[in-house]
Structure 1
Amino acid sequence: MPLLDVKNVKKIYTTRFGGAQVQALSDVTFSVERGEYVAIMGESGSGKTTLLNILAALDKPTSGKVLLNGRDLATVKDREAAAFRRKQLGFVFQEFNLLDTFSVEDNILLPMVLAGRKYKEMQAALEPLASRLGIQGLLRKYPYEISGGQKQRAAVARALITKPQIILADEPTGALDSKAADELMRLFGRINREGQTILMVTHSVKAASSAGRVLFIRDGAVYHQIYRGEQTDEQMYQKISDALTVLVSGGERHE
């Protein structure tokens, strides 16, 4: 059974006064196996953000299903949604979403604090994770005192601290310089090889080329996908670039 199973998902929004309908997703179907690293690409307006919101249980599809480890996300009640997301999902955002009034340590531990975990348990989870991500020396600092790349490492630690089923990353390199972006992608590759499932939405060909599979969304549906196989990052980069050229030009997909 796939870890994440997206079946014929459609999303239609009705405008504020009910005068028109906008179809953001038309028929999205794909699955993600446990331990996969998948990137999603597509032009602005293709439905990527809508899809990510549905996968994050922040929105519900008009029709179709999203199953996480066999559970239909539509059955997650509003009152339990926040707790469900904390336990099952880890989030990495473009703008980090760290609280400047909290230390790096407190930012990382926030999901566990909200879940009511004991201090001893939180420290036991934090110490090996901080060491693994190379941020032990940053824990007492505040977000405004560290670089963008360091902020994103702290955000990754926060995403991992609850041992989520899957990490959902939304343009995680978008606010980083090229060096920090490369470091983050190496970090993603490492934590994926250690068994963490990752699904990343990105506009960056370079970021996507680090994934094991790339899905392309066009007109609200999965249009094409590329599997890494034995290809290098450079070969993936070229294949993704070629696919995006076809995507933008409106041509037919190719393998």
Structure 2
Amino acid sequence: MAILEVEHLKKTYTTRLGSNRVEALKDVNFTVERGEFVAIMGESGSGKTTLLNLLAALDKPTGGQVRLNGKNLGELKEKEIAGFRRENLGFVFQDFNLLDTFSLRDNIYLPLVLEGKKYEEMSLRAEPIAKKLGITQILNKYPYEVSGGQKQRAAVARALITNPELVLADEPSGALDSHAADGLMKLFGEINEEGQTIVMVTHSVKAACSAKGVLFIKDGEVFHQLYRGSLGRDEMYQKISDTLTILATGGERDE
């Protein structure tokens, strides 16, 4: 069953003086099934970030629809958007977006604090997540006291604590060293195997290999979709690399 449906999505930006129009997204169509892990790839300027912003209800499309569980995000009223995001979406960012004046524990609790949950419930929800992510022993530390990999694990815990319908990740391994990045992608794979739906924007072929499918974007349109199926990790890596080469050298997009 499709949890996320993107139909004829368009986004056009007009310059300040109105003299120039930029088509960031032209006509994007795809679906994400419940429990899928999809990576979105493409060159800089291809429209990946614009697409992610629309999926996150951080921006409204010029045309088309984004539906999460049948709910058209473009029809959300301004006063509904923040609550909808907290209840349905979890976010993991490249730069972690942790508050340095909060402990890791309080950073993780923050979405539930905003929902008005009681401390006991927050603690009960956080405990198994922190244990799974291997950060139980550092919850009282502050972001500036821990490594990049530990910060990102705390950010993942914060994204998961609301039991979101969909986790959106923007270059989650981009600020990590290779060891921490590998660990994070392994965690993403495990979280996905437990049923969490994930959509991740990445430049990393290695990170994309953890996904069950890859959506390639070029010039504001879907260029190609690749599904893992029975492919091994090495085969997946090669297919992703080959597609990126075709994309970069001017190949034709899928019809």
AA aligned to 2:233 is: D
Contact 1:243 1:253 in 2 (8 A): no
Return the alpha-carbon distance in structure 1 between the equivalents of residues 59 and 233 of structure 2: 34
* Structure 2 letter corresponding to 1:25: L
Q: What are the superposed Cα offsets for residues 19-60 of structure 1, whole Å, 9 maximum, x if unpaired? A: 111100000000000000000000000000000000000001
Runs of 4+ in structure 1 over 4 Å off:
none
For residues 27-42 of structure 1, the aligned pairs below 5 Å read 27-42=27-42
Q: What stretches of structure 1 of length at least 5 have no aligned partner?
A: none
CA RMSD of aligned residues (A): 0.8
Q: Secondary structure at the match of 2:158?
A: helix
1:94 maps to which residue?
94
Question: What is residue 246 of structure 1 aligned with on the other side?
Answer: 246
Structure 2 counterpart of 1:2, one-letter code: A
Counterpart Cα distance in 2 of 1:109 and 1:86: 12
Q: What is the distance in 2 between the residues matched to 1:235 and 1:180?
A: 23
Count of residues paired in the alignment? 254
Aligned to 1:60: 60
Q: Where does 1:199-238 land on structure 2 (aligned, <5 Å)?
A: 199-238=199-238
**How far does the alpha carbon of each residue in 1:186-208 deviate from its partner, in whole angstroms, 9 at most, with x for none?**
00000000000000000000000
- 2:63 maps to amino acid: S
The 3-state SS of whatever aligns with 2:132 is helix
- 1:32-91: per-residue Cα shift (whole Å, max 9, x none)? 000000000000000000000000000011000000000000111111211111110000
What residue is the counterpart of 1:74 in the other structure? 74
Deviation at 1:232, TM superposition (A): 1.4
Q: Tell me the equivalent position of 1:165.
A: 165
What is the CA deviation profile of residues 152-208 of structure 1, one whole-angstrom value per residue up to 9, with x for unaligned ones? Answer: 000000000000000000000100000000000000000000000000000000000
The 2-side partners of 1:19 and 1:252 are apart by 30
Identity fraction in percent: 69
Give how far 1:253 is off: 4.9
CA–CA distance in structure 2, aligned partners of residues 52 and 233 of structure 1: 26
CA contact (8 A) 1:148 1:176 kept: yes
CA distance in 2, matches of 1:253, 1:217: 9
CA distance in structure 2 between the aligned counterparts of 1:129 and 1:168, rounded to whole angstroms:
18
Please report how far the alpha carbon of residue 233 of structure 1 lies from its aligned counterpart in structure 2 after TM superposition: 1.4
Counterpart position of 1:112: 112
Q: CA separation in 2, counterparts of 1:137 and 1:83?
A: 31
Normalized against structure 1, the TM-score is what?
Answer: 0.98
CA distance in 1, matches of 2:133, 2:213: 24
Q: Is the 8 A contact 1:246 1:253 kept in 2?
A: no
Question: Would the aligned equivalents of 1:212 and 1:228 in 2 still touch at CA under 8 Å?
Answer: yes
1:148 equivalent in structure 2: 148
SS of structure 1 residue aligned to 2:226: strand
The residue correspondences of 1:125-204 to structure 2 (distance < 5 A) are 125-204=125-204
Per the alignment, in what secondary structure is the counterpart of residue 2 of structure 2? coil
- Per the TM alignment, residue 134 of structure 1 is displaced from its structure 2 partner at its CA by 1.0
